[in-house]
Structure 1
Amino acid sequence: MTEKTFAAFIVTYNRPDILMDTIQKILDQTRPPDKLLVVDNNDNDDTKNKLAQLYPGVAHLKVGHNSGFAGGGKIGLQTLAQEGYKWVLWADDNDPPYTRDTLEKLLQLGESYEGNCGQVGVVGHKINKRTGLVIRTTNEELEKGEYLEVDTIGGGMIKVIKGESVLKGIVPDPKLWFGFEDLDHDLSQQKAGYKILVHSGLFLDLRKKWNRLNFKKTATVRKKEESVLWRDYYSIRNSMRVMVKNGYYLAFFSILFVSIAKTLVSYKYGFRYGRLVTQNTFKAVRDYGLSRWYKRI
Structure 2
Amino acid sequence: MNKKFAAFIVTYNRPDILMDTIQKCLDQTRPPDKLMIVDNNDNDETKNKAAQLFPNVAHLKVGHNSGFAGGGKAGLEALAKEGYEWILWADDNDPPYTDDTFEKLLQLAESFGSNCGQVGVVGHKINKRTGLVIRTTNEELEKGDYLEVDTIGGGMIKIIRGESVLKGIVPEAKLFFGFEDLDHDLSQKRAGYKILVHTGLFLDLRKKWNRMNYKRATVRKKDEGVLWRDYYSIRNSLFVMTKNRYYMAVCSILAVSFAKSMMSYKHGLRYGTLVTRNTLKAWRDYTFNRFYKRNV
Alignment of 1:151-230 (within 5 A): 151-218=150-217, 220-230=218-228
Name the residue aligned to 1:239: 237
Does the aligned pair in 2 maintain the 1:221–1:266 contact within 8 Å?
no
Name the residue aligned to 1:72: 71
Name the residue aligned to 1:142: 141
Mark the CA change 1:62 to 1:114 in structure 2 (over 3 Å): closer, same or farther: closer
SS in 2 for 1:261: helix
CA positional deviation for 1:268 = 1.8
SS in 2 for 1:140: helix
Question: How far apart are the structure 1 equivalents of 2:248 and 2:126?
Answer: 13
Does the aligned pair in 2 maintain the 1:67–1:177 contact within 8 Å?
yes
CA positional deviation for 1:226 = 1.4
Question: How far apart are the structure 1 equivalents of 2:223 and 2:58?
Answer: 36
Question: How far apart are the structure 1 equivalents of 2:137 and 2:271?
Answer: 34
CA positional deviation for 1:271 = 2.1
Q: 1:260 aligns with which of 245, 255, 258?
A: 258
Amino acid at match of 1:202: L
**How many residues matched?**
295
CA positional deviation for 1:279 = 1.1
Question: How far apart are the structure 2 equivalents of 1:92 and 1:8?
Answer: 11
CA positional deviation for 1:217 = 1.3
Question: How far apart are the structure 2 equivalents of 1:91 and 1:255?
Answer: 28
Tell me how large the CA RMSD over aligned residues is. 0.9
Name the residue aligned to 1:270: 268
CA deviation vs aligned residue, 1:134-177 (integer Å, no higher than 9, x gap): 00000000000000000000001100000000000000000101
Name the residue aligned to 2:290: 292
CA deviation vs aligned residue, 1:234-270 (integer Å, no higher than 9, x gap): 0000000000000000000100110010011112222
Q: Which runs of 5+ in 1 are unaligned?
A: none
Does the aligned pair in 2 maintain the 1:8–1:36 contact within 8 Å?
yes
Does the aligned pair in 2 maintain the 1:221–1:265 contact within 8 Å?
no
Does the aligned pair in 2 maintain the 1:287–1:295 contact within 8 Å?
no
Does the aligned pair in 1 maintain the 2:228–2:294 contact within 8 Å?
no
Q: Which runs of 5+ in 2 are unaligned?
A: none
Does 2:84 correspond to 1:85?
Answer: yes
CA deviation vs aligned residue, 1:20-59 (integer Å, no higher than 9, x gap): 0000010011100000000000000100110111111100
Amino acid at match of 1:91: A
Does the aligned pair in 1 maintain the 2:120–2:197 contact within 8 Å?
yes
Question: How far apart are the structure 1 equivalents of 2:226 and 2:98?
Answer: 28
CA deviation vs aligned residue, 1:86-119 (integer Å, no higher than 9, x gap): 0000000000001111011000000011461000
Does the aligned pair in 2 maintain the 1:22–1:93 contact within 8 Å?
yes
Question: How far apart are the structure 1 equivalents of 2:157 and 2:204?
Answer: 14
